[in-house]
Structure 1
């Protein structure tokens, strides 16, 4: 399948490489020359114009920083430039309203389109083990699924347009709350005189069991290997967690949802990002 991939950043670069590895013909576009060179080294054909990259393709995948850029790229470089029969997949994490708006524009122009944000960090993007939460029609999902399977371990149809973004921001709000709670419990146990390793052994096998503790332990040398064991480098950056929490809080306000803990988590990550924005979000434990 011939696929255009727009946005070759920390996540997109690995995703495009996995599409090429799976045998797809990938037309890659990014504003960064370094990203284009990496894509070329990974078997992609590179372009310096997004409109040219989408010409003649069967699918378009985008992985972009925010809703404004997503809207601009689809309006100016994809809709009307890609063949009418192409399936469009936006894997960016953006606000629900913009996701619905862009999909509506694409559908009005005759395209099948999904919003398909991801769960999993840079390592998962590079390893092809992302989880995709997909919003769109059954037809669009079926067409997109074959593309997404080359980049992930799980592809889940969440519902109609925008449902993927809804699942993503709610999931990451929960993750932020869970990580803060996990970090607080570990540090409190330590200050009360309990060996953190012993606390991990007990809580990871009892009612304190959770992903943040068992699969992403935030204290170096405790539990499984995680970014904490690499000075909190790599993984999922605090700045990106903050972006998702801001999206979640905006969405909560739009629908009058009560998110007391979500709001507190956003407040904590706002402060954390001032000093540790480039470090993994589990670095919140450094403030306790």
Structure 2
């Protein structure tokens, strides 16, 4: 038990073996021509990312998945019947048997706990895969935790670490059109990009380790503010008697155009595919946006950046997250909290 997160014991549970008549896979029998990938974290984003990864990998490659929610792992394996998918019972099993490991986790404590489990004891190279691992963390976390994890992988000489947070939301993860912002030495970029390109459309190298996260936090800071402004603008227009779809169409070809208006519009019915049109279900949760805004403000404080709007926005997201009518919803539910007409 680490960081409040418990993991199961060490036995393997074979979820499915595709295009292969034998009923069990032993990792010691994996062909040298095959590559083995690991994916830890099958949440709203991770599930869809892992699905795209598995569907686009060569047929003979193996994908090992793990999530603390065993139902998510089981569902993934059942949905991907016909592919080489193995369900692991702990992150350590993923790390022991994979060459490249992708993690997509909610918050810093989860990342720390998972990487502690994967890297300790420092004996990965003596296990099933005798080569240094490539760890790619797609989580949005604080700079300090990411640096500590990167240092742990490097100092124990068990592998290399890339921070690669993504942008594009659940719909982008579903469509495989995410943008990944990479923080890593230049020698790791090609290898990391080859993997990430199976889950996204754009891979941007922002600089050395930590640079990907800095770019993501700046982006999500702006997204958090744009979302509130879009909710307010749509609400005022509708209450002035404007048709919501006509208003959104105008904004989306004018200077107010932004992702919360064009793709994730907060008014139900304006964008049929947006969470607001589905009762604000799915999407990017209020708690996650609130977490990202908190991380951005923390980094601003650490680097002496003067921000004025962010702290006010944080108060709004705190209130939305605590509201029973908004809790657990997509962050566009700010529109509902502000009294927008649904």
Equivalences for residues 48-197 of structure 1 within 5 A: 48-78=89-119, 80-83=122-125, 84-110=131-157, 111-197=159-245
Aligned length: 288
Partner Cα separation in structure 1 for residue 43 and residue 241 of structure 2: 43
Q: Which residue of 2 is the match for residue 7 of structure 1? A: 41
CA contact (8 A) 2:181 2:212 kept: yes
Q: Which residue of 1 is the match for residue 329 of structure 2? A: 279
Cα 1:286–1:37, aligned 2, differ >3 Å: closer, same or farther?
same
Partner Cα separation in structure 2 for residue 62 and residue 202 of structure 1: 39
- Which structure shows the higher helix fraction? 1
Which TM-score applies when normalising by structure 2? Answer: 0.79
Which TM-score applies when normalising by structure 1? Answer: 0.92
Whether 1:32 and 2:66 are equivalent positions in the alignment is no
C-alpha distance after superposition, 1:98-126 (max 9, x if no partner): 11121122122332210111112233323
Q: Which runs of 5+ in 2 are unaligned?
A: 1-34, 126-130
C-alpha distance after superposition, 1:137-188 (max 9, x if no partner): 1112222111111111111111111111111111111011111111111222
Q: Which runs of 5+ in 1 are unaligned?
A: none
Whether 1:47 and 2:103 are equivalent positions in the alignment is no
Partner Cα separation in structure 2 for residue 286 and residue 132 of structure 1: 31
Tell me how far 1:258 sits from its aligned partner: 1.5
Partner Cα separation in structure 1 for residue 56 and residue 293 of structure 2: 33
